[in-house]
């Protein structure tokens, strides 16, 4: 909530303050009382204002760990590798040998593959990958040896503070009711785009054997229906609202925020207004209380 900039009316300001007070009553911001001792619940800087002591979480760049799912943007195509911006202090490296080839065949990379690297990824392409390891010089290596990784198209790339995206068992989400793929990158890069089926290479070969079946597919790739674009924008705006409020972002909370916008009949562009931010903040204490009761 630090640095929240919204044009709030006096009534909205009071409602937002009440919602924040309810949240603080559930758990003190940054600290908690454990057997009479004051214990920090966040990793950050201790701040004191008179008798008030709290911990302010650090909003630093992404600190990668091996196995993290990340989303990045290609900034350079060089010899046998791509360089990606992933909100790390250094650009991440995706080697040509660390990803699946378009033909789906496991083989040694040739000089021809290296010449055709721009046919796979080029500058400004958005790519999903996994953190593979760290090099001795501190650089980060990625890998994309699965059908779920690769180039992302027909969607929006959102950038939030990395600490808002917690590590979980699942960072790939298919929102079936909207036909949307949601990828929550641990580096704070979130992808919201049209759902793409991960197809087996044999299925691709069979589809390519027929010229007639290939033409409609190419046409579909160049057009995204209006309803799909609206779904993408609504979900993306829900992520923006949660990021502005400083709430941890997960698929369930995003869906609940989207459902709230539909329930109160708020248009997509109005979701970024002050009133909807207040509504989301007012609902959050109740949601957390219900979650606490379920855990008990």
| Residue 95 CB partners (closer than 8 Å, separation 6+) | 80, 81, 141, 143
In angstroms, rounded to a whole number, what is the distance separating the alpha carbons of residues 170 and 72? Answer: 18
Return the closest-CA partner of residue 55 out of 189, 162, 163, 184.
163
Q: Is residue 126 part of a domain?
A: yes
Domain containing 101 equals 62-152
Q: Is residue 296 part of a domain?
A: no
Q: Is residue 16 part of a domain?
A: no
- The helix or strand, by DSSP H or E, that contains position 230, with its residue range, turns out to be helix 226-245
pLDDT in tens, the chain (296 residues): 555 677 888 888 888 888 877 776 665 555 666 777 767 776 666 767 787 776 666 566 788 889 999 999 999 999 899 999 999 988 999 999 888 776 666 678 888 888 889 999 999 999 999 999 988 877 899 998 888 899 999 999 999 999 899 888 999 999 999 999 999 999 999 999 999 876 443 333 333 443 444 444 444 456 789 999 999 999 999 999 999 998 989 999 999 999 999 999 999 999 999 999 999 999 988 888 887 777 66
**Residue 37, SS3 per DSSP:** strand
* Terminal CA-CA length for the chain: 28
Q: Is residue 211 part of a domain?
A: no
CATH of the domain at 104: 2.40.50.140
**Residue 212, SS3 per DSSP:** helix
Domains held by the chain: number? 1
Return the closest-CA partner of residue 182 out of 168, 163, 202.
168
Q: Is residue 27 part of a domain?
A: no
Alpha helix (H) residue ranges in 95-142: 111-115, 117-120
Q: Is residue 83 part of a domain?
A: yes
């Amino acid at each position: 909530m630090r640095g929240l900039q919204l044009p709030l009316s006096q009534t909205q300001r009071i409602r937002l303050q009440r919602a924040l007070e309810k949240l603080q009553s559930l758990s003190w911001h940054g600290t908690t009382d454990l057997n009479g001792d004051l214990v920090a619940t966040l990793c950050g800087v201790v701040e004191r204002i008179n008798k008030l002591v709290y911990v302010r979480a650090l909003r630093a760049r992404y600190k990668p760990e091996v196995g993290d799912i990340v989303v990045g943007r290609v900034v350079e195509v060089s010899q046998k590798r791509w360089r990606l911006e992933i909100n790390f202090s250094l650009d991440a490296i995706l080697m040509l040998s660390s990803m699946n080839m378009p033909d789906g065949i496991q083989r040694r990379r040739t000089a021809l593959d290296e010449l055709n690297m721009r046919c796979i990824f080029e500058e400004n392409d958005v790519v999903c990958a996994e953190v593979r390891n760290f090099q001795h010089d501190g650089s980060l290596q990625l890998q994309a040896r699965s059908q779920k990784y690769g180039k992302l198209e027909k969607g929006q790339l959102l950038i939030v503070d990395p600490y808002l995206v917690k590590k979980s068992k699942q960072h790939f989400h298919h929102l079936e009711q909207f036909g949307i793929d949601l990828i929550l990158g641990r580096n704070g890069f979130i992808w919201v785009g049209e759902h793409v089926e991960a197809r087996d290479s044999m299925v691709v070969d069979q589809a390519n054997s027929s010229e007639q079946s290939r033409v409609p597919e190419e046409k579909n790739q160049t057009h995204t229906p209006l309803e799909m674009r609206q779904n993408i924008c609504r979900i993306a705006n829900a992520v923006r609202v949660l990021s502005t409020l400083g709430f941890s972002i997960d698929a369930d909370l995003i869906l609940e925020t989207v459902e709230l916008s539909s329930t109160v009949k708020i248009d997509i562009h109005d979701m970024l207004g002050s009133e909807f931010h207040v509504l989301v903040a007012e609902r959050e204490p109740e949601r957390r209380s219900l979650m606490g009761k379920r855990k008990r």
